[in-house]
Amino acid sequence: MPRLALAGLLAVVFALPALAAEPAAAPPAPAPSPAQDHVKYVPKYEDPLLKEMEAADAKRDEAEEAATAKIRADRKAAKEAEKAARTTLRFDMSKLVKPAGPQAFKQAFHFPPQAQYLTNTCWSFSTTSFYESEIARLTGRKVKLSEIYTVYWEWVEKMRGFVRTRGDQPVAEGSESNALPRIWKQYGIVPLSAYPGTKAADGRHDHARLAQRMESFARWIKENDLWDEDLVATMTRAILDREIGAPPASFEFEGKTYTPKSFLDDATKLKLDDYVEMVSTLADPFYTFTEYKYPDNWWRSKEYYNVPLDEWYAALKRALSAGYTVAVGGDVSEPGINGFEDAAIVPSFDVPQELIGQDARELRINNGTTDDDHGLHAVGIAQAGGHDWILIKDSGRSARWGKFEGYYFYRDDYVKLKMLGFTVHKDVVKDLLAKQAR
C-alpha cells in the first residue's frame, strides 16, 4: 500500500475514539425570568378635593356642637334661675295665736325627734316612735327601737309580694303604720343599739341608691320572668346587706342575750293585736273594717275601722288628753303648713272653719287633693286661740326649719280636713268598736 494511503488510514482510525467521545450539543439556554415585583409603603394619597369637603363637614359639625352646647348651657342656667326664684304658696302667720312651744302641751313620753334624712320611711319612724311611747306607758321602760330594722324586712316582704302578684304591685319605699305589727310578728324587733341601719360614718340615712336598685331589680325580675319567691328574697337581702347592713340574729341588751322575737316578747311586752287603725271616709260604711285604698298599703290590708269624722276626731283628742299617743298619717302638701312657723292650719281662703266637716274632707279625698304622703306621731295636746292644737313629732326635714326641731303644731281644723287615719290602743276606742256592724 502506498505510504501516503496508509498514513491516511491510520489517521482516520486513531481519530475515531476522539470523535466518539465528543459530547452532544448542549440544549439551548432558557429565556431569562422576568423581574420580580416587590411591595413597599408609600404615603397615602389624599384627594385634595375630598379633603376640602371633609374639612368643611367637620367645621360645620363643630359649629353645630358649639350651638348645641350653648343652648344646653343657656337652658341649664335658665332652669337654675327658675329654681332659685321658685316660690311656695304660703300665707302670713304673724298674727296666728298658737302655743308658745312644745312645753305648752300636755305631753306623753316620747323620745326626742329622730330624722329620717334622705329616705321615704316616715311610716317606720313615726310608728316606731308610737310603740316606744306605748312601751313606756305600759311598762315604764324607755326602750329606743330600730326604725330601719322594720324597713329592712318590709323590703323583703314587699319583693316577695311583687313575685306573688307577678309584678302587679308598687315597689317603692312607702308603707303604712300597720306594717310594723305585721313585720314584728314575723321577724321580731331590735333596739337601735343592735341595728342602726346605716353604714354611713355620720349616721345619716340615705336610701336613694337603695331605692333605685330595688326598682331596677323589680324591672329585671319582670323582664326575665324570675318568679321564684325564695330566690328573689335572697337576692333582695343581698342588696339590703350591702346598702344598709345585715340585721342581727341575736344581740346583747342590758346584760341579756335576745333574738329579735324574744326581745319583742320579753323586753317590749307589746301585745300587737291590742291596736287598731282608725279612718273616716264616706266611701265605705261606718263601723266596719275596710281596705285603706292607697298605694302604700301594698298588701291590701282591710284592717281599718271606719267611723264618722266627729267620732274619729273625738277619739284622737280623747287619747291625747288621757296620756296616750297616736301614729297619724295624711297630707302635708298644703299652703297651710309652714315649717318655719312650726304650724299647720287650714286658712280661710281654702275652706272656712264652719264648713270643715265630713263632706269637705271627702271632697278632697275623692279628688286627690288629700293624699297619704306622710307619717307622724301625735304626742300632746294644748289649747290656744280657741282651738285644739296637736303636738306632732315629725321625722321629715321641714320640721327642722323652725324654732322647735322635729316638732309641728297642728291645729284641729288641719287634723280634721287633712289627716286620713291614726293608730291607737283599742282601750281608747272600745266604745266605737262596740258599734261594729254585724
Decide: residue 244, CB within 10 A, 0-12 exposed, 13-18 middle, 19+ buried.
Answer: buried
At 39-87, the pLDDT tens digits run 999 999 999 999 999 999 999 999 999 999 999 999 999 999 999 999 8
The dotted CATH code for 103-433 is 3.90.70.10
- Confidence band (pLDDT; 50, 70, 90) for 33? confident
Give the global pTM.
0.85
The DSSP letter of residue 368 is T
Distance CA 284, CA 305 (A): 10
Residue 330 has pLDDT above 50, yes or no: yes
At 221-273, the pLDDT tens digits run 999 999 999 999 999 999 999 999 999 999 999 999 999 999 999 999 999 99
Query: SS3 breakdown of the chain: % helix, strand, coil, rounded to 5?
Result: 45, 15, 40
Give the list of residues 6+ apart from residue 129 with CB closer than 8 angstroms, or none. Answer: 110, 111, 114, 327, 377, 379, 393
Nearest alpha-carbon partner for 395 in 128, 80, 47: 128
